[in-house]
Chains A and B, each alone.
Chain A
Amino acid sequence: MADLTQLYDAILNGDHKTAVAVTKQALADGAVAMDLITNYMSPAMDEVGRRFECEEYFVPELLLSGRAMKGALELLQPLLAASGATPAGRVVIGTVKGDLHDIGKNLVASMLEGAGFEVYDLGADVAPEKFVAAVREREAGLVCLSALLTVTMPAMRDVVDALKAAGLRDRVRILVGGAPVTPEFASEIGADAYAENASVAVARARQLTT
């Protein structure tokens, strides 16, 4: 049997190659997928989160750990699906129409993926109807909207309104963020939550999808 503490260490250290190799070996040795997640992978990501919160880790460490986690998870997913397990949540994310700023949005998307969400990134300058189509097509439970310009903040309201008009608002939660966006603005346009940074966005996403 593979030394499974290596799986924990590989995820903690962002070592994708080792995480995948140890997972493969563990499965070949007859390990149960859910046990790997519960006993090694999730605790490793919890430790990554703790180190990030106390500023011992920065985003690169967080993302590399997330990538290692994702690599191992991809091997387990067919087994999990067969046993009826589901991902943490399905998310559609994008920067709203008229706004080309996307690094904050990209960061949130990457961190959501690392946290086990299934993420559909629509990019930047995304029209409301594209959000509507993606929510419908992907059966997403959460929409994340980003804006960096004061003049594109109204486009967030357009997305909320478009989801209402399409009859989808009741089955999707909406999370907004970006430098000029405030909790008051989020409430005013009818979003469900506001996140001031990427790590808070992941925490809010977890709250909104459970």
Chain B
Amino acid sequence: MSKKSLAISDPTSLVFGVAPHPVRCGFELKIGSGEVYPELNFTLPTLTISEDLWPTVLTHYRTIASDVLRRALALQVPGIVLEFELLPAMTERPEWGAEITSLLHDQMKASWQKSGLRSALRVTPTDIREQGKPPILRKSDPVRRLLRSFQLNAAAGAHILSIESVGGKEIHDRALMYGDVRGMVFALGVLAPRDMAWLWEQITAICRAHGAAIAGGDSACAFANTAMQLAHQHLLPEVLAAVVRAMGAARSLVAFEHGAVGPSKDCAYEGPVIKVITGCPISMEGKSAACAHFSPVGNVAGAMCDLWSNESVQNIRLLSGNAPEVFTEVLAYDCRLMNEAAKHGGALTLRNWLVASDEWLSPQAAVLSPDATIEIANAIVGASGD
């Protein structure tokens, strides 16, 4: 652990919208400097991704961007992040992912030039390295495709690069299912950090080479969110899921030790610990991500966020429009309330309500409270050795 002190040591300074080290990216967007912005994530409806249907795929993404930006302008959002999370086929064939990145970038640019909408595009290639058993994480065709995907997407106009890396997942999956805490510690504390240190050196080098992209962050999604979903189905104890979340923070921090600057990934619920240690802005998801999955942390997750996300929603028709633009509206109103509270000096009060409404109902929520966050962060920076 290279960091030995906290960027935020006072729990009352740990609030939404404000990070000690804000980041500038995209089209004049500054994240973590006082306002919370929506981060809209989207995916395709049931559809085979193939050469034949590729024009249909492009039409979906073109429509999504157009719908979302129109709704954001109608709601006068002060800024927005769009996250394009690549599907496996779009990382397997990096040119496909880059083509979509390019079209999203162009529409966001047009919206900024025409209407002044500040925005940034986060692009998250799929970690496709875990295809064989055992997975080959450093030298294989999937590794080459993954790194090429980062390069092409950076060149095509991505403003923030992220990943949900899977180093150590093979061991963690088995340990989690057998309740083997030593196995989980080994996966999250040794295997995953070794992989992330290597991977994030590559990602930050690509960002440096392309200039316009920043290294966002990683997520313990494959570990802690798996535990969260299994706990939701009563397949694992909730306390175990909370412990995995806390352990996941030390893992996700490695990206920041190797060049990431934030905003961290939305599904990294361990984000508050990252923010406390590094001072970098974070993205979080909660109640407005119910379109994607259940969580017992719907309000508390927003208490310390700098971007507020819906995780993922299919491009399907709802009564008021397509689902991505509908969720743009949901997020816009969530953020508007947080920003208004902050403007009137009520950020801490609203934060405390968001925390209090969840923290006594689930250990997974309790572990995200500001007090628990600071305690976990102190334990991480206080640990001796690497």
Contacts and interface: CB of A to CB of B under 8 A. Distances in A.
B88 A100 contact: yes
B164 to A, nearest CB: 11
Given A58-B235, A100-B88, A100-B131, A63 B47 contact: no
Interface in A35-85: 55, 58-61, 63-64
Contact of A106 (B87, B88, B177, B235): B177
A102 B222 CA distance: 10
B46 A151 contact: yes
B88 A198 contact: no
A99 interface: yes
Contacts of B43: 149-151
Contact of A63 (B130, B131, B178, B230): B178
A124 interface: yes
A183 interface: no
Contacts of B226: 103
Interface in A89-117: 98-100, 102-103, 106-107, 110
A64 B179 CA distance: 9
Contacts of B176: 103
A154 interface: yes
A58 B177 CA distance: 9
Contacts of A152: 88
A123 interface: yes
A145 to B, nearest CB: 15
B44 A107 contact: no
Contact of A151 (B49, B133, B235, B236): B49
A197 B48 CA distance: 25
B237 interface: yes
B337 interface: no
Interface residues of B, number: 31
Interface in B79-137: 87-89, 126, 128, 130-131, 133
Nearest to B46: A150
A154 B173 CA distance: 26
A59 B45 CA distance: 32
A180 B48 CA distance: 14
Contacts of A154: 46-48
For chain A, the bracket of interface size reads 20 to 34
A61 B234 CA distance: 12
B47 A58 contact: no
Contact of B236 (A58, A125, A155): A58
A149 B230 CA distance: 17
A150 B314 CA distance: 8
A151 B47 contact: yes
Given A98-B88, A100-B130, A103-B226, A59 B173 contact: no
Contacts of A107: 177, 230, 235
B49 A103 contact: no
A160 interface: no
B87 A149 contact: yes
A153 interface: yes
Contacts of A150: 43-47, 314
Interface in B216-254: 226, 230, 233-237
Contacts of A153: 46
Contacts of B293: 179
Contacts of A155: 48
B236 A100 contact: no
A99 B88 contact: yes
Nearest to B50: A154
B41 to A, nearest CB: 14
Nearest to A60: B179
A91 B292 CA distance: 31
Nearest to B92: A98
- A-B CB proximity, top 9 nearest: A60-B179, A59-B235, A154-B48, A150-B46, A103-B173, A55-B234, A153-B46, A60-B178, A58-B236
Interface of A: 55, 58-61, 63-64, 98-100, 102-103, 106-107, 110, 123-125, 149-155, 179-180, 197-198
14 contacts: A58-B237, A59-B177, A60-B177, A61-B179, A100-B130, A103-B176, A107-B177, A123-B133, A150-B46, A151-B87, A152-B88, A180-B46, A197-B233, A197-B235
Interface of B: 43-49, 87-89, 126, 128, 130-131, 133, 173-174, 176-180, 226, 230, 233-237, 293, 314
